[in-house]
Amino acid sequence: MSVNKAILVGNLGRDPEVRYLPSGQTKASFSIATTESFNDRSGQKQERTEWHNIVVWGKLAEVCAQYLKKGRQVYIEGRISNRQFEGKDGGKRFISEIVAQTVQFLGGRAGAGANGGMEEPADFGPGAGSAPVMDDEDIPF
């Protein structure tokens, strides 16, 4: 038995980039930052930020592209994927990505109402990939 699962909560470093493949499949990619706080040996508080490449497919990619923006906090659940590609100089390059299967939008949109922008998370899980595209009135935030 083996398990390949990643769970991240972080903030988008850039707006999602959307591509439509010739097959008709939609792909969204973006990065999120996670920050770890710790005390070093001298007792000084330190922070370390890690950047993670996220890939989302299908209807879930379309929803992410529409509602996620740089700075937005998001919960990602998915699998780790490592792949190789050829760089512009012809050399081999390697990349690690999280292929998201569940995406929850956390917090609120910029300029949200009187509750300080804190709302219930919007959950787009494994079943969301087959859900119809939602109108603005259907979105819970």
**121: pLDDT confidence band, cut at 50, 70 and 90?**
very low
How large is the average pLDDT for residues 54-67?
95
Q: Supply the pLDDT for residue 107.
A: 76
Contact 98, 64 (CB under 8 A): no
Domain covering 6-38+46-138: architecture: Beta Barrel (2.40)
What span, in angstroms and rounded, lies between the C-alpha atoms of 96 and 80?
7
Q: For 10-37, how does the pLDDT look when each residue is reduced to its tens digit (9 = 90+)?
A: 999 999 999 999 999 999 999 999 999 9
**Which of the two residues, 20 and 133, has the higher pLDDT score?**
20
Residue 137's pLDDT band, with cuts at 50, 70 and 90, is: very low
The confidence score (pLDDT) of residue 109 equals 57
Per-residue model confidence (pLDDT) at position 113: 35
Q: Which two tokens stand for residue 141?
A: 């935030």
Please answer whether residues 119 and 141 qualify as being in contact, where contact means their C-beta atoms are separated by less than 8 angstroms.
Answer: yes
119: amino acid identity, one letter:
E
Q: What is the pLDDT of residues 74-102, one digit of tens each?
A: 999 999 999 998 888 999 999 999 999 99
Average pLDDT over residues 52-62: 96
